[in-house]
Amino acid sequence: MEFPAGFDLKSIRTFTFVVELGGMTQAAQRLEMTQSSVSQTIGNLEEALGAALFDRTVRPIALTPTGVTLYDHGRAILSAAGDTLQALREQQGRRLASLTLGMPESFANTVGPLLTDSLDGYARRWRVWSGISPENHDALMNHTVDIIVTTSDELDSVEGLEIHPLLEEPFILVFPATFEEMVTGLEAHGDLRFIRYSLRSAIGRQVERQINRLRLNLPITGEFDTASGQLAAVAAGTGWSVTTPLCLLQEYAKVGSRVRVEPIKRGQFSRSLKLVARKNVLGDVPRLIAAESRNILRNKELNRLFEQHAWIKDLVIWPEPDSI
């Protein structure tokens, strides 16, 4: 049987909440949706069925005969679906059939390899994809990936998502090791060119916003869309740039001795990393992966950088326990 668009478990669940809580406003609060979203879901469900579910001419809201039938059958459908999901998870030891994660390059190359043992416990098959934030956002919203790590706030106000903070890290300056001038901020440094991170990425755009905010004149002469290329160019003496501890960490074995790393003393700014997933879809998996990621960053990976640049540790901010 073909099911019409708008007739699905989520719509039926929303409908039953409206009935049991006595209105769309109450259902919206319980489901953490807007009232307009609940109203639209009910409207789409009525359109799919070709009949009204509520008699809107009376107060309090009342069910039509079609609504009564759907409510009776809907509760049974939701109960059966819940039992089926529970049975399947228990059968597989609560492991998901598959799990796909989208991450920035710097995160995938540093934290990603150390997450593999945990991912084996969460899913029978998992994938880690790296890419720029806008691409990962689209992949999450169209269900191509299940979880993303992002540095952008574009998804903060989107309904139906759960967000787990990981850390806030400062932007830092990197120069060729041979560069000896005194530095304080993002201003031009002699004849050394400024090498940008791709403006297609969230990190590249954030750096550009700070440059504009400070009204600095840093001519656009070249940019890289990977931290690898950007830092390799700095190490080779091509120019100087702005990066973050995590981006530097992934290339530190290659460029560490060939770059000079300095704090931004004037106009300091930072970026926040967070893990985002669709709410109430993967159970505790997003929260557990976020906790493991924080542990890897705080107690393993970043310590390698702190040993050489202790001042960075004081600039990294970890989320408060209540916000986790």
Locate 49 and state its tokens: 């069925």
Mean pLDDT check: name the lowest of 2-11, 42-51, 101-110, 266-275. Answer: 2-11
Specify the CATH number for 99-167+271-301; select among 3.40.50.2000, 3.40.50.720, 3.40.50.300, 3.40.190.10.
Answer: 3.40.190.10
pLDDT at 226 over 80: yes
In whole angstroms, what is the distance from residue 17 CA to residue 254 CA? 56
pLDDT at 9 over 70: yes
Q: Helix H segments across 92-122? A: 105-110, 116-122
pLDDT at 81 over 90: no
In whole angstroms, what is the distance from residue 5 CA to residue 78 CA? 18
Domain range 9-91, CATH class = mainly alpha
Read off the pLDDT of each residue in 166-180 and give the average, rounded to a whole number. 94
Residues 6+ apart with CB under 8 A from 6: 41, 44, 45, 47, 48
- Decide yes or no: CATH 3.40.190.10 for domain 170-270: yes
- pTM of the predicted structure, to 2 decimals: 0.69
Band of residue 88 on the pLDDT scale cut at 50, 70, 90: low
Query: What's the confidence (pLDDT) of residue 321?
Result: 57
Query: What's the confidence (pLDDT) of residue 241?
Result: 93
Band of residue 87 on the pLDDT scale cut at 50, 70, 90: low
Would you list the domain boundaries of the chain? 9-91, 99-167+271-301, 170-270
- Do residues 206 and 233 lie in contact, with contact meaning Cβ atoms separated by under 8 Å? no
Query: What's the confidence (pLDDT) of residue 182?
Result: 84
Residues 6+ apart with CB under 8 A from 50: none
In whole angstroms, what is the distance from residue 6 CA to residue 25 CA? 20
Band of residue 322 on the pLDDT scale cut at 50, 70, 90: very low
In whole angstroms, what is the distance from residue 223 CA to residue 239 CA? 11
Read off the pLDDT of each residue in 218-224 and give the average, rounded to a whole number. 83
What are the strands of the beta sheet with 126-130, ordered from one edge?
126-130, 99-103, 147-150, 270-278, 161-170
- Whether 99-167+271-301 and 170-270 share one fold: the answer is yes
What are the strands of the beta sheet with 193-194, ordered from one edge?
193-194, 239-243, 172-176, 259-263
The string of DSSP codes covering 285-303 is HHHHHHHHHHHHIIIIIHH
Mean pLDDT check: name the lowest of 79-93, 224-238, 243-257, 273-287. Answer: 79-93
* pLDDT tens-digit readout, 186-211: 887 778 899 988 888 888 889 999 98
* pLDDT tens-digit readout, 106-135: 899 999 999 988 888 888 899 999 877 678
Read off the pLDDT of each residue in 239-252 and give the average, rounded to a whole number. 93
Nearest to 152 by CA among 144, 141, 143: 141
The string of DSSP codes covering 219-231 is ----EESSHHHHH
Query: What's the confidence (pLDDT) of residue 324?
Result: 44
